[in-house]
Amino acid sequence: MTGSHAGPPHEPAAAARERLGPEHYDYFAGGAGEETALRENEEAFGRLALLPRVLRGGTVRDTRVSVLGRDWPAPLFVSPTAFHRLAHPDGERATARAAAATGIPLVTGVAATTAVADVAAAAREADPEAVVWFQLYPQPEHEVSAELVLRAERAGCSALVVTVDSPVFGTRTRDLRNGFHDLPPGLAAENMRDLPGAAPGATRDIAMCPAGWDDLARLRELTDLPLVLKGVLHPEDARIAVERGVDALIVSNHGGRQLDAAAASVEALPAVAEAVAGRVPVLMDGGVRRGGDIAVALALGARAVGVGRPVLWALATGGEDGVREALTALREDFDQVLALCGGHRPRDLTADQVTPRGLPYR
């Protein structure tokens, strides 16, 4: 990486581990089951190499991409991750200010320890034009989902991300081992406060439910915000989603925290991109740690990629400054990789430039 704080990607996790209580570190770091999907997200990138193009001329690069009517400065966004105040006292506010300061869009989630209105306000302190999206798990009670969507709209979020890979909670092996199931006193999922069916001032639990396409249609009716489906791996689901009017997709296995046997995100990406055939933007997350990973994902059909844990590690070790530096380093690393691949714009990266590592046996 090119940034001054850059280093091998395992270092940020190790530094964060020293700062965090072991059960909190494990909550962020861990995955479901035997953590196969978690490991594979990164290892699948490691099995892919780039074939740079040469003598393509040009000195100016433009890393911007257009997503749902907005220009993003780089093909990069912050994926929704829960409980930022476990990582740092400034929590989601620090993440939001840092993302906005670098122009990187932020997806804040229903499981944030800061209410969406406050997250969006923090982002706007750094950049009045900051892109903030809101992520929701469909809730079994429609009025609860409806109230959450209304809050996201009022906060000025510009898209609704619906996570669909969690009909039930994944088995988080480390959390079970550590007995970690509750936030410490003083921290709560603030978006879940004062919702229908809860006592005034109390928070409700976030429920997981096996929603169907009809539930998605109900969400569609609730809001004019663009709808982004997160957690799609099967190309047929991608096709159905596009036919049902979804505005963008995020190919994701939830950072390996749900189905342990799930394919790595980057492995599922090409078939989803093919099924979508350019009709809506395909985003992806899972295992993105360096500029080369971003380039591979773009070449395989992603418009932009999200990062989850890298942001949590940076937040834990450096707060707002740490997140700003990590996002800047990733962005600069991608720009350099693009140049070294002979590209001038993200769309110059094409699938023929990705090849599996290892020699074939003869």
The interface with ligand FNR within residues 204-243 (CB under 6 A) comprises 230
Q: Which of 213, 237, 254, 310 is nearest to 10 (CA)?
A: 310
Query: What Rg do the C-alpha atoms of the chain give, in angstroms?
Result: 19
Window contacting ligand FNR (CB under 6 A); options: 2-10, 74-82, 117-125, 339-347: 74-82
- As measured in angstroms, the least distance from the Cβ of 348 to ligand FNR is 24
Window contacting ligand FNR (CB under 6 A); options: 8-16, 217-225, 239-247, 280-288: 280-288
Q: Does 134 interact with ligand FNR (rule: CB under 6 A)?
A: no
Q: Does 109 interact with ligand FNR (rule: CB under 6 A)?
A: yes
With a CB cutoff of 8 Å and minimum separation 6, the contacts of 55 are: 342
The residues facing 135 across adjacent strands are: 109, 161
Q: Where are the beta strands (DSSP E) in 40-105?
A: 48-50, 65-67, 70-72, 76-78
143, HSE (Cβ side, Cα atoms, 13 Å): 6
Q: Does 307 interact with ligand FNR (rule: CB under 6 A)?
A: yes
Q: What angle do CA 328, 120, 222 make, to 5 degrees?
A: 125
Which tokens is 253 given? 């296995």
Q: Does 28 interact with ligand FNR (rule: CB under 6 A)?
A: yes
- As measured in angstroms, the least distance from the Cβ of 320 to ligand FNR is 19
- As measured in angstroms, the least distance from the Cβ of 127 to ligand FNR is 22
Q: Which of 183, 171, 160 is nearest to 91 (CA)?
A: 183
Q: Does 255 interact with ligand FNR (rule: CB under 6 A)?
A: yes
Gap between the Cα atoms of 7 and 1, Å rounded: 7
Q: Does 114 interact with ligand FNR (rule: CB under 6 A)?
A: no
Q: Does 254 interact with ligand FNR (rule: CB under 6 A)?
A: yes
Query: What is the number of the residue whose Cβ is closest to ligand FNR?
Result: 308
Q: Does 287 interact with ligand FNR (rule: CB under 6 A)?
A: yes
164, HSE (Cβ side, Cα atoms, 13 Å): 25
Query: Toward ligand FNR, which CB reaches closer, 331 or 343?
Result: 331
Note if 181 is an active site residue: no
* Number of chain residues interacting with ligand FNR (CB under 6 A): 22
239, HSE (Cβ side, Cα atoms, 13 Å): 6
Provide the terminal-to-terminal Cα distance of the chain, rounded to the nearest Å: 36
With a CB cutoff of 8 Å and minimum separation 6, the contacts of 231 are: 163, 164, 165, 166, 250, 252, 253, 254, 258
Q: Does 304 interact with ligand FNR (rule: CB under 6 A)?
A: no
Window contacting ligand FNR (CB under 6 A); options: 2-10, 171-179, 285-293, 348-356: 285-293
Residue in this structure with the two tokens 């995100």, named with its chain if needed: 265
Of residues 95, 102, 145, 163, which one binds ligand FNR by CB under 6 A? 163
Window contacting ligand FNR (CB under 6 A); options: 90-98, 115-123, 247-255, 331-339: 247-255
Q: Which of 113, 110, 105 is nearest to 89 (CA)?
A: 113
Query: Toward ligand FNR, which CB reaches closer, 109 or 318?
Result: 109
Residue among 24, 84, 88, 254 flagged as catalytic = 254
Q: Does 67 interact with ligand FNR (rule: CB under 6 A)?
A: no
The interface with ligand FNR within residues 164-193 (CB under 6 A) comprises none
Q: Give the three-class secondary structure for 280.
A: coil
- Positions annotated as catalytic residues are 254
Tell me which residues touch ligand FNR (CB under 6 A): 28, 41, 79-82, 109, 111, 135, 163, 230, 252, 254-255, 257, 285-288, 307-309
